[in-house]
Amino acid sequence: MEMKRTKCISVRLEALVSISDRAYKATDFNGNSDIIPKSQVFGRDWDVQKSEAYWIAEWILKQKSITSGKKEAWFNENGDMLPTITVTNHIPERIEVTEIKTIKRLKK
């Protein structure tokens, strides 16, 4: 059974006001306002200190005029943030052998 994941973007907002049981009115610092479904707001981004930021589903932000940030995270269907894993492949640089010194006490 595959777990449903949602890609979210951290969005800094001037205001996020509940206007009904199913929607928020979000206002960014440029004065842009939009209606965002509550099901697409995954909670507060507590890493941002100077203003309030919220995790909002990326797909809904593409349809709205709100200015979005660069910070991304994945959330599961329960609203829990999934760990971010970065895989890097390190290829060491090749060193040419110029001279071989034998160690007398290790030589048989």
pLDDT tens sequence across 39-51: 888 888 888 778 8
- Extended beta strands in 5-51, E state: 5-13, 15-18, 23-27, 33-37, 41-44
Domain boundaries, the chain: 5-76
Return the amino acid letter for 90.
Answer: H
pLDDT above 70: residue 1: no
Q: Which residues, other chains included, contact 43 with Cβ-Cβ below 8 Å and sequence gap of 6+?
A: 54, 55, 79
Given this model, what pLDDT does residue 22 score?
A: 92
pLDDT tens sequence across 59-74: 988 888 887 778 888 8
* Its pTM surpasses 0.85: no
